[in-house]
A and B are shown apart, each in its own frame.
Chain A
Amino acid sequence: MDRAAGASPGVWGAAWKRLRADRVGMTALAVVLAFVVLVVAAGLGGVAADWRAEVGVPDAPPTLLGPRAPTADPLVAGPAGPAADLRDIDPLAPRYAEWDAAAQRLRATEAPRAQTLPLGADRQGRDVLAKAIQGARVSITVGVLAALAATLLGTLLGALAGFYGGRLGDGLEWLYNVFTAIPNILLIFTFAAVLSRADALLPKGVWSIVVILALTSWTGIYRLVRAEFLKHAVRDYVRAAEAIGASASARIFRHILPNVSHVVLVQLSIHVVAAIKSEVILSYLGLGVAVDQVSWGTMLAEAQGELILGHWWQLAAATAFMAVFVTAFSLFTDALRDALDPKLRGLE
C-alpha cells in the first residue's frame, strides 16, 4: 500500500511558498503594492487631487535646495530718492481711504505662494510631487488595463488557433500576419491618427490609449499561447480527456488553459511594463492623454524645456517614480517566473 501523508498545496500554493522565500521578489511586490495603494487613493481623490493648483512660485526648487535667491531685475532701474507727494494735485486723492476700506472687506484670499515645495514646482508653479502621483495613477492604470486587454485578446485567439488549427487557425494566422506586417510604432501611430478624429466614439484619454495599445500588442501573446496550445493539444492528458469524452471547450478551458496560465501571467506582467513605457512616449508626443491630464510622459515633455534653464526637478521626479515602479515590477515578474517554473519542471 502506498502511503501519502499531508495536504498537497497544488501548483499555485507551492509557487506562493517559493515566492515568499524570495526576499528580492517580496520586496519588489511590497513596492508594487505601495504604488497600487497610492494609485487607488489618487483615483478616489484622496491624494494629490488638487495637483492643478498653482501652489508654488514658478520653478520653485525642491525643499532640500532651499528657495531661489531673488534676482534683481536688471532692466528697470528705479529712480533714487523718496517718492514725490502728489496728494495736492491728485483728483482721486480724497477717495483713496474709502476705496481702501471697501477693498479690505472684499479682498480675495490669495494664499502666499510657497517658495519651495517637497519636490519642487513646474513652470506654472504646480506641485511636482502631486503631479508625479497623478501621473503614476494615469500611467499605471493605462499600463495595467492595456496589458489586461491585450492578454485577454491574445490568449483567447491563441487558444482557438492552437487547439483547432484548420481553417480557423489559418484565418487567425492571416490576421496575425496582417498585424505583424506593420511595425509596431507605425501601427500605434495609425490607430492614434485615426482615433484622434473619432472623438465622438472614443474620447481622447485613458481609454483611447488602452484600445490602441491593446490592439497593437496582442500579437506577441497570441504567438506564445498558440505555441503552448499546439504543444499541449497533442499531450497524452488531453488525449486522455478526449478518450473519456470531454468536450472541446472543456478541453480548452478546463484542461489546457490552467497548464498555460503561468506563461500568460508572466506575459501579462511583461506587457504592463511595456504598456507603461509606450504610454509615456505617446503622452510625450501629445498622442496620449488629453491636455488637461497629467502623465509621466507630459511631465517629461515639460521637463525638456526646463532642463535648459537648469531646473531639473520635474525630470528627476518623473524619472525616479517611473524607475522605481518599473524596476520593482520587473523584479517581481522575474521572481514570479522563478516561483512558477521549478514547480512545473517536476510536472513535465
Chain B
Amino acid sequence: MSRTETTMDEPLLRIADLRVSFRLGREGGQMQRAQAVGRVVDGRAVGVSFDVPAHRTVALVGESGSGKSVTAMSVLNLLPDNAEREGTIRFQGRDLLALAPRELRALRGKDIACVFQDPMSSLNPVFTIGAQLCEPLRRHLGLTRRQALARAEALLAEVGLPEPKRRLRAYPHQLSGGQQQRVMIAMALACEPRLLIADEPTTALDVTVQRQILELLATLKQRHRMGLLFISHDLGVVGEIADQVVVMRQGTVREQGPVAQIFSAPRDAYTRALLACRPRLDACPARLPTIDDLMAAEAAQAAGGAPADTAAATPPPKDPDAPVVLEVRELSKAFWLRRGVFGRRLFQAVRGASFQLRRGHTLGVVGESGSGKTTMGLALLRLHDPHGGPTGGQVLFDGQDLLQLPRGALLPVRRRIQVVFQNPYASLNPRFSIGQTLTEPMAIHGLGGDDAGRRARAEALLARVGLDADVMRRYPHEFSGGQRQRIAIARCLTLQPEVLVLDEAVSALDVSVQAQVLNLLKDLQDELGLAYVFISHDLAVVRFLSDEVLVMKDGAVVEQAGAEQILRAPQQDYTRRLLGAVPRGWVPAAG
C-alpha cells in the first residue's frame, strides 16, 4: 500500500479554534446549550487549537469535564446526535468538518482509527472476534473473506495475543480486559491508519496490564509510523509515552508543548498544580499540595506577596507503641458457586490475612482486581451476605471476636468501625437530603440527644470536612464526586468511630480532588487518632497515607511490611512487578 509522506510544514492533524457544544433542549423558547469544548471569553468564543505532527504522540491531558474526550471524538464526528461542532479540523489538508458523511465514513477505520476506554462494552458481544476484525478489512480494503481472516490472524499475532487462530472464533466475553483491548488495537490497525486516536485506553485496566498495553502501543506506533493522539487523565502515563503534551481544563487549552518542557518547566499555574498534587512513590510529604492552594499561592506571589513555600514538610513520625485497636488473624472468606446439576463449589476469595492495626496508624492494602482486597475489607465489617459463603479466622476488636458475635450484638460495634466506599455517586442515598443522611446514624445509635442536637453535630462535622452548613438541605446529585466523598466521611464521623475502612475511597476522583480528600483524611487521623484500613490499587496513594502495607494477589497476602521498606526493598517478585508497572511520568534522560 503506497503512502505519501506529509510535507514538513503540514501536520497530520491540525485542530484550530474547535468549539463543541451540546443541544440540551428547548426551555422557554430558547435552545439551551452546554459548551463542552471552547469557552466564551468577552463575548467571543475561544476554541481549542493544537497539532498532531506525523509519527508523533500527542497527549491530551485533563481532569473530568476538561473536554479532552469530546475533542478527540469530534475529529471523526463520533459524538452524540445533539452535538454541534465549529472551527477547523484538518487531516492531511482536508477539512473534516466540511466533508460529506460518505467521505467521512471512508476515512473512519482506514486513515484514522480509534481505540476506546472500555473494551468490554466497545466490542459487539454477539459477533466473534474474527467477524469484527474482518469488517473494516472487507469494507475498506475489499479483501475476500479468506484473505480478511488471514490478515486478521496476523494482526492478532502482532498485538501479542496468544493462539490467534483460535481467538478468531472466540467471543469478546471469553477474553480478559487486557486481551480485549489488544483486539481493539488490532481492529484499529487493520487498514494501516495514519492516525490512531486512543481515548483513555488503559484507564479501565490493571496497572500491570496497563504497562503491557502502553508498551504495545509504543511499539506499534514506531513500526507502522503512525501518529498517535492519546487521551488520558494520568500524567504519569502521559509523561512516559508522549512527545507533545496538551493540558486542558474546562474546555480550553491551558498549556501545550514538548513533554520535557511541560514536566520540567511548566509555564501555566494549573499545569504546575496538576503536576505537584500527584502523590509520588519516591517522596512522602506531610500534605499534598492541591490545585486551589497552589494557584492561590501563585496568585498571591504574583501580586507581590511572599514566595510560596514549595518545600513540603516531612510528616511527624508515628508512635510505634500506640495501642492495637484491631487485630486480624487468618481472616478468610469464600463464596459458594453453583456447579453441575445440583452441586456447588467453594471459591476462596481471601485466604489467611493477618495484621495488627494501631491507633492513629494506617494499614494500606494493595492489589489488582481480583486480589480479594475489597472482599477482605467488607468481611471485616461483616457486610457480606451471611448465606453467601463461610468466613473464617478472627477479627479481634476491643477484646471481642467480631466474626463470632450474634447479629443482634453487632450494633454497638458498628458504631466504632465505619466504612467509606469507592463510588461517591452510589454511596449516598439519592433521595435523602444531606441532613437526613448525616442525622440518621446518630438517631439509630441514640447519639446527639435530640433532633436539634443531632443537626448541630452534623453541621459541625460538615464544617470540619470543609463544607457549608446549608449543604444540609440539599441532595447528593448537586455535589461533585469529591464533595460527596467528604459527606460520606462526615457521615462516618457522626458516630465517632475508632477504625475507618476506606475501600478505594479516592480511586474514582480526579487527581486534584483526590489530593484534597487525602489531606482531609490525614488531618482527621492526626486530630482524632483514627486508625485506617486503606484499600487501593494505586501504590502512590497508598504510599502517601500508609504506615504499613499489605500486598495481596489472588486472595493471599504476598508481602507485608512497613511502607518505606516495601517501597525501597520489596522482597517478592510480584511486589517488584507491581512497583515497576506504576507509571513514573517523564524522567529526564541520563547525560
Contact = CB atoms under 8 A, between A and B. Distances in A.
Contact of A259 (B422, B430, B477): B430
Contact of B418 (A7, A243, A250): A243
Interface stretch (A34-42, A85-93, A196-204, A340-348): A340-348
B440 interface: yes
Interface in B402-448: 410-411, 414-415, 418-419, 421-423, 425-433, 440-441, 444-445
Interface in A249-278: 250, 255, 258-259
A254 to B, nearest CB: 8
Contacts of A5: 470
B422 A7 contact: no
A281 interface: no
A110 interface: no
Interface in B529-565: none
A2 B483 contact: yes
Leading 8 A-B pairs by shortest Cβ distance: A347-B430, A236-B427, A244-B441, A8-B474, A258-B431, A236-B421, A346-B477, A245-B414
B429 A241 contact: yes
B321 interface: no
Interface of A: 1-5, 7-8, 10-11, 21, 165-166, 235-237, 239-246, 250, 255, 258-259, 343-344, 346-348
Contacts of A7: 473
Contact of A4 (B385, B418, B471): B471
A344 B427 CA distance: 15
B476 A347 contact: yes
Contacts of A239: 378, 383, 419, 421, 427
A4 B421 contact: no
A282 B429 CA distance: 44
B383 A245 contact: no
A244 B429 contact: no
Contacts of A166: 387
Interface string B360-385: 00000000000000000010010101
A239 B379 CA distance: 12
Given A237-B428, A240-B488, A4 B495 contact: no
* Contact-residue size bin, chain B (C-beta under 8 Å from the other chain): 35 or more
A63 B444 CA distance: 69
A8 B430 contact: no
A165 B414 CA distance: 24
A255 B440 CA distance: 11
B467 interface: yes
A240 B430 contact: no
B467 A240 contact: no
Contacts of B495: 244
A14 to B, nearest CB: 9
Nearest to A244: B441
Given A2-B483, A240-B491, A258-B431, A246 B387 contact: no
Nearest to A256: B429
B27 interface: yes
B475 interface: yes
B497 to A, nearest CB: 10
A2 B467 contact: yes
A259 B433 CA distance: 13
A235 B426 CA distance: 6
Contacts of B471: 2, 4
A236 B419 CA distance: 10
Contact of B470 (A4, A236, A346): A4
Contact of A244 (B27, B421, B440, B477): B440
A3 B483 CA distance: 11
Nearest to A2: B467
A7 B423 CA distance: 26
B526 interface: no
A199 B429 CA distance: 49
B524 to A, nearest CB: 17
A259 B426 CA distance: 12
A74 to B, nearest CB: 66
29 contacts: A1-B466, A2-B466, A2-B467, A2-B468, A3-B468, A4-B467, A8-B433, A8-B474, A8-B475, A10-B433, A11-B430, A11-B475, A236-B423, A236-B426, A237-B426, A237-B429, A239-B378, A240-B428, A241-B440, A242-B383, A245-B410, A245-B411, A245-B441, A245-B445, A250-B444, A255-B429, A259-B429, A259-B431, A348-B426
A80 B425 CA distance: 96
